Amino acid sequence: MAEERIRVLLVDDHSILRQGIRSLLEREDDVEVVGEAADGEEAVAMVAELRPDVVLMDIGMPRMNGIEATRKIRKDFPETKVLILSMHDDEEYVAPLMQAGAAGYVLKRSAASELKTALRAVHQGHTILHPEVARMAFHGRGAGEKREDYDGLTEREIEVLKLVADGLTNQQIADRLFISIKTVQAHRANIMEKLQLHDAVQLTKYAIRKGLVTLD
């Protein structure tokens, strides 16, 4: 029996870009592009009709932008994941989209392999941010917790800690952050030494207490 494919809806107001992404994804045996939408309103209507597994969503579009469309899709069709594909990497876009329920944020300048990895990760229930976006998001926490509130952890260590708390293995973290498994192991050792914690359970409790992850 063939493996069930990830059903994807493409949402972008640039038809040439949609065609390029469709061509890219249709080369993958485990992905099926089930439709295309040119704006947020059309995207919401097509999600209702097609019930895709993942919506690949742009931000700046006519009639209804990607933020509002994401919020509505996640409210009305919570089983559908939304992966943002955008040219913007500043916090004024990232934070509202993650608050609206987006499961991931990938930059349009990313490599094709990064987009495919993100698509599969989001479908599996993970949250994924392009490394540049993740660093920006953590650096921009000035309105919330400051760096010293994380007991001296670096931005990369905070990223690794969050993924540990999300239940990812060292290999999965390495793949997600595009670093080697040895680098992940080194980061974990540094985190545990700085926090004086000794296993993944304690790290997870710390991450929850600091608001890096939430319990559903």
Q: Is 103 in a helix, a strand, or coil?
A: coil
Least Cα distance to 79 among 45, 41, 118, 122 occurs for 122
- What are phi and psi for residue 86, nearest 5 degrees? -140, 160
- Are 11 and 34 within 8 A, CB to CB? no
Residue 12 CB partners (closer than 8 Å, separation 6+): 18, 21, 38, 56, 58, 61, 85
- Are 39 and 62 within 8 A, CB to CB? yes
Alpha carbons 208 and 210: distance in angstroms, whole number: 5
- What are phi and psi for residue 206, nearest 5 degrees? -65, -45
Give the side-chain half-sphere CA count within 13 A for 144. Answer: 10
Alpha carbons 56 and 76: distance in angstroms, whole number: 17
Q: What is the pLDDT of residues 95-115, one digit of tens each?
A: 788 888 899 888 888 878 889
For position 123, what pLDDT does the model report?
A: 94
CB atoms within 10 A of CB 84: 30
Going 51 to 53 to 59 to 61, the CA torsion angle's sign is: negative
For position 207, what pLDDT does the model report?
A: 85
Q: Is 153 in a helix, a strand, or coil?
A: coil
For position 175, what pLDDT does the model report?
A: 87
Alpha carbons 7 and 53: distance in angstroms, whole number: 5
Alpha carbons 119 and 81: distance in angstroms, whole number: 10
For position 199, what pLDDT does the model report?
A: 87
- Are 84 and 40 within 8 A, CB to CB? no
**Radius of gyration for the alpha carbons in the chain, expressed in angstroms and rounded:** 18
Q: Supply 176's token pair.
A: 């997600």
User: What angle in degrees, to the nearest 10, is found between the helix axes of 131-139 and 91-100?
Assistant: 100
Q: Domains in the chain, ordered, with CATH?
A: 6-138 (3.40.50.2300), 144-209 (1.10.10.10)
Per-residue tens of pLDDT for the chain, all 216 residues: 456 899 999 999 999 999 999 999 999 999 999 999 999 999 999 999 999 999 999 998 888 999 999 999 999 999 999 999 988 766 667 778 888 889 988 888 887 888 998 999 999 988 887 766 666 555 554 444 444 467 788 888 888 998 998 888 999 998 888 888 999 999 999 999 989 998 888 888 888 887 776 554
- Are 153 and 197 within 8 A, CB to CB? no
For position 153, what pLDDT does the model report?
A: 86
